[in-house]
Amino acid sequence: MTDRDLALKSLALRRRLLRLIHEAGAGHTGGGLSCLDILNVLYHRVLNVSPQTVDAPTRDRYVQSKGHCVEALYTVLADRGYFPDADLDTVCHYQSPYVGHPTRKIRGVEMNTGALGHGLPICLGMALAAKLDGASYRVFTLLGDGELAEGSNWEAAMAASHHQLDNLVGLLDHNTLQITGHTREVMANEPLDEKWRAFGWEVRSVDGHDYAQLTAALTTPPPKGKPLFVLAHTVKGKGVSFMENVAKWHHGVPSEVELAQALTELTAAEAKLREVHA
């Protein structure tokens, strides 16, 4: 899939994501839009997974530690054929299996997440299991900025390099905003590259909306024995002008009017992209 194909897909999935959140009446809009390109690259270029191999012992594992952005995950999984697109209309509805945070009841979801600071330790266990079995699969988790204040991440950061887990990848959706406002004002976490390097990780900084940069960072193996941390610089609310870099869209649900405006913008962006490449 070319970068252009991915860009077109991302625009379509952004529209789907916004419709889903509007219908559900709940969801995490800003973070979903900021991590969508990362998920698209993971599921189309990086992860050795498919709807046909959900139980294959050798598949790569992806655990979404920032579980609140489940709508983005469900949208990408539906697009990849794990379940029908129509299922997305039931997210958060009474008695739907599509809970408002990732659940293993849904095909393709590896672990139940939602409480923050859980994904990395779980992925450590998965990466250790691969090493014990001499298996070549890799294990990926996606973290959020605010989440890094959870101490469990740093327990895992220490243990990952101690156990030389070069099959483990931590990705940060570094949009610099959390529910209360700027992460640097809530609980400053910079300098993140130096912190993760000090914990013994290979650190790569990329534009989290640049498919080529993400692909290179995620597919180039880290030095032997080093876990990989990808610091993906992203924009919260990416793709919708009035949502970009606005903290209130962390879990803001678009109204009918706002949804229409957002869809118009995304459709215009798609038309422009097709025109440029025509």
Using the contact rule CB under 8 A, the part of the chain among 1-9, 119-127, 221-229, 259-267 near other proteins is 119-127
Query: Does residue number 129 form part of the binding site for other proteins (CB under 8 A)?
Result: yes
Nearest-approach distance from CB 143 to other proteins, in angstroms: 13
Considering only residues 11, 49, 70, 130, which one is a binding residue for other proteins as defined by CB under 8 A?
130
Considering only residues 121, 144, 222, 237, which one is a binding residue for other proteins as defined by CB under 8 A?
121
Contacts of residue 31, Cβ cutoff 8 Å, sequence gap at least 6: 66, 68, 69, 72, 144, 173, 175, 236, 250
Query: Does residue number 3 form part of the binding site for other proteins (CB under 8 A)?
Result: no
Which string of DSSP letters, residue by residue, matches 175-203?
A: --EETTEEHHHHH----HHHHHHHTT-EE
Q: Both tokens of residue 61?
A: 């594992």
β 181-182/202-207 pair status = unpaired
Give how far Cα 32 sits from Cα of 128, 162, 195, Å. 29, 32, 26
Mapped onto helix, strand or coil, the DSSP state of residue 47 is coil
Nearest-approach distance from CB 112 to other proteins, in angstroms: 4
Using the contact rule CB under 8 A, the part of the chain among 85-93, 154-162, 204-212, 248-256 near other proteins is 154-162
Tell me if 34 sits within 8 A of 240, measured CB to CB. no
- Longest CA–CA span in the chain (Å) reads 54
Phi, psi at 226, each rounded to 5°: -110, 130
Q: How many amino acids of this chain bind other proteins (CB under 8 A)?
A: 32
Using the contact rule CB under 8 A, the part of the chain among 118-126, 185-193, 232-240, 262-270 near other proteins is 118-126
Question: Which residue lies nearer to other proteins by CB, 62 or 249?
Answer: 62
- In terms of Cβ atoms closer than 10 Å to its own Cβ (0-12, 13-18, 19+), residue 220 is exposed
Footprint (CB under 8 A) of other proteins, residues 161-200: 162-163
Contacts of residue 278, Cβ cutoff 8 Å, sequence gap at least 6: none
Footprint (CB under 8 A) of other proteins, residues 45-104: 57, 61, 104
Query: Does residue number 18 form part of the binding site for other proteins (CB under 8 A)?
Result: no
Question: Which residue lies nearer to other proteins by CB, 112 or 205?
Answer: 112
Query: Does residue number 225 form part of the binding site for other proteins (CB under 8 A)?
Result: no
Query: Does residue number 134 form part of the binding site for other proteins (CB under 8 A)?
Result: no
Considering only residues 158, 187, 188, 268, which one is a binding residue for other proteins as defined by CB under 8 A?
158
Nearest-approach distance from CB 165 to other proteins, in angstroms: 11
Phi, psi at 114, each rounded to 5°: 155, -45
Query: Does residue number 149 form part of the binding site for other proteins (CB under 8 A)?
Result: no
Q: Both tokens of residue 157?
A: 């950061």
Question: Which residue lies nearer to other proteins by CB, 99 or 263?
Answer: 99
CA dist 67 and 195 (Å) reads 23
Considering only residues 17, 126, 240, 247, which one is a binding residue for other proteins as defined by CB under 8 A?
126
Residues forming contacts to other proteins in the complex (CB under 8 A) are 57, 61, 104, 110-115, 117-118, 120-130, 132-133, 151-152, 155-156, 158-159, 162-163
